[in-house]
Amino acid sequence: MKLPHKAHVAIVDGEHFTVMQNTGQPFEPKLGNAQKPDLTATNFSAGVKHQDDIGQEHGRTDLNELAHGAAATEWLNAKAISGELTDVLVIADPKTLGEMRRHYHSELERRLVGEIDKTVTGEPTAKIEQVIASA
């Protein structure tokens, strides 16, 4: 995947949110400047869609995890609207990415350079760079 120089990479799952920036070249990403924004999960709108007790009992639906994905998206939306983010790549596990897409603001959508549906939270930076380069 071609990742523009200085593009931001949002790495998200149901519990973690890290934003990094590409300091390398478009086809040879080097991620740095990691920050972990403090989020408050307040948007539990996924509860309307995921009300089945069986799914929650078997761990397929965790409203707190989905609310965390929505909170990460709200943070990205605010930064995109204010102009602090220009190019954004989102890497998230499939369930979180699906929830995030429901909350994308049109300004964030314009700034997205791609999405990767893979769980990479907790992985070393070199592994994340490899995932981006091979996408």
pLDDT of 67-95, one tens digit each?
889 999 999 999 999 999 999 999 999 99
Task: Please state the rounded mean pLDDT for residues 118-127.
Answer: 95
Q: Give SS3 for 81.
A: helix
Token reading at 45? 């709108």
Q: 59 CB contacts (<8 Å, ≥6 apart)?
A: none
Torsion of CA 14, 97, 78, 33, to 10 degrees: 70
Mode of pairing for the β-strands spanning 112-117 and 8-12: unpaired
Domain 8-134 bears CATH identifier 3.30.420: yes
Our CA angle for 38, 31, 73, nearest 5°, is 35
Q: What pLDDT, on a 0 to 100 scale, did the predictor assign at position 52?
A: 54
Place of tokens 């204010």: 82
| Single pTM value for the model | 0.87
Mode of pairing for the β-strands spanning 17-22 and 8-12: antiparallel
Q: What pLDDT, on a 0 to 100 scale, did the predictor assign at position 40?
A: 79
21-36: buried (b, 16+ CB within 10 Å) or exposed (e) per residue?
Answer: bbebeeeebebeeeee
pLDDT(48) > 60? no
